[in-house]
Each structure stands twice: as C-alpha cells, then as structure tokens.
Structure 1
Amino acid sequence: MTSPRPAEDLLRLDRQICFSLNAASRAFGGLYRVLLKDLGLTYPQYLVMLALWEEPAGAALPVKRLGERLRLDSGTLSPLLKRLEANGFVRRERSARDERSVLVTPTEAGVALKERAAEVPRGIARATGFDLAEIEELRERLNRLTEALDAATPG
C-alpha cells in the first residue's frame, strides 16, 4: 500500500488533472485549427457539422437538441449557426409545427463537406501517434470522467 502524498506534492501544477486536460485541449485546438483551415470551419463549427451529418440525409435538427448534444447554450450556438449559414453550409428555418423551434439542415455544400472532413480524424490520429484502440480507450475514459463530473456537480 502506498503512503499518502504530502499536501505540497498534491498541489503541484503538474499533478493537476484539470491542468493536463486543459493543456491537451489547447493542443488539440491548435491542431484542429490547422486541420480545419482548408474546410473553412472553426472547431466549434466542425462539431455542429458532425452532429448534423449524423442525422439521416435531409433531416433537420432542432437547435435545442443540437445544443444539448454539443453541450452548448443558445447564446453560443446561435452565432455559430449564423456563420455556418452565411458560409452556405447550413440552412435555418422555423418549424412549421412549432414557430418557437428553429430547425437546422445541412445544405448541399454542407453535405459535400463531409467527405473532405473525413481526413480530420485521420490527421488527429497521425498527430497523436495513438492507434485506433488507444484513441477509443481514451475517448471512453474521458466520457466516463465527464459523466462522473456531471453527476458530482450540483444543479
């Protein structure tokens, strides 16, 4: 059995999981910026397109559900969607059934972008040097971490 670490050791910056996750997130952000430049997308816009590409062809996704899937509030999501619409990748329209609901659909250009975007995960894999099994294991562990933190966070 290991002995407890002294407080000074526990409080070292390089021992903080939050710092490691933040550093990895920033590094990923820089890599995604490079990989997404040719697609004309930012990382958050890429996430929106990924969510839309998962829907059946031609299906619209309500903005509210899109926000839930991406863990983004409407104040963050709306400008992303406006920019994607201005770039011709998505179309936004009010629902005929519920005027309060806005539906988002990828345009032809947005659908065509999917094929070119397939290179992005390959580029990430090459940059990390991880094989697909390692990437999948890391993703699963991060999902478990997120679920645990969500459960531990009040409200």
Structure 2
Amino acid sequence: MNNILIRDYLPSDKDAAMQCFRSNVPKFFSASDESWFESALDEPDGPSFVMVHPEEGVIGFGGYEVSSTYNSAVLVFGQIHANWHGKGLGKKLLEHRIAHLKANAQPTRYLVVDTILKVAPFYVKHGFEIVAHWKEGFRDGADRIDLRLVLL
C-alpha cells in the first residue's frame, strides 16, 4: 500500500468522496447523514484530506476541526471505501490527520471523536480512551461513543 497518497481534499473530489461515504452506509454511517457529509465537503470547518490510489482514485476521506473555544480538535468523517477495508488504510489516514494537526494547528490538549459502538475499538487500539457512551445518542438510534486522545 505504499503507492497510496494522502493529499488535501479538492472540490473536484466531491463525487468520489460521496461514493466513499455511500459505500459505508448502513454499516458505518446512517443514510440520513449524507446531507451533513455533503455540507462538510462544500463548507469545511477545517482541513480535509483524501486518500488516493493511483488507479482507483479516491478511496478514503477524513478531516478535523480545531475548536477556538475548547482545548480540543475533533476528527470528522474518517472513512475508507468499503472495498478497501482491512488493509491498514484507516490507521494511515488517522496518523496523517494527527501529524497534520500537530504540525499545522494551534496546540490542543485533546483530539476527540464520536462514533458508533462497532468503530470505537479502532480508536481505542490507537490510543484513544472512551469518555462517554450515550445509549441511542445518534439521531438514527445508534449508540454514540465519545473518545479522546491526549496530545499535550
């Protein structure tokens, strides 16, 4: 997987990013979140990245936002196209976002993410701790798991 590149998201990546999102519905995202994802692509609140395979094109997306009020940053919409799961690409995308945050954003104490129960172990495996479990905490009724990674 050394030929996979991570670069800044461009508006021309939108259709491919939407396909990536749709490939993860309903297993990892709710279909009702599609319009939210699309608005995040159109008007991002922070840096966003795509993971690109030289022949297949965009196979992953993820970004982060830095809070100007709280001492934290939030991971947003991290995803790998369903055809590419299980190859270590999620880890590579996560590591890229963390490195970019540390090198380019104001220093923050915490990096936080909210996700579903089946994804939480991925983040725990990469050093995040679970800080809250909200029964039926998402609009679609799925449990919400809040995690954080201490950066400073």
| Same-fold status (TM-score > 0.5) | no
More strand by share: 2
- The TM-score, its normalising length taken from structure 1, stands at 0.28
Higher helix share: 1
Q: Normalising to structure 2: TM-score of the pair?
A: 0.29
Larger Rg: 1
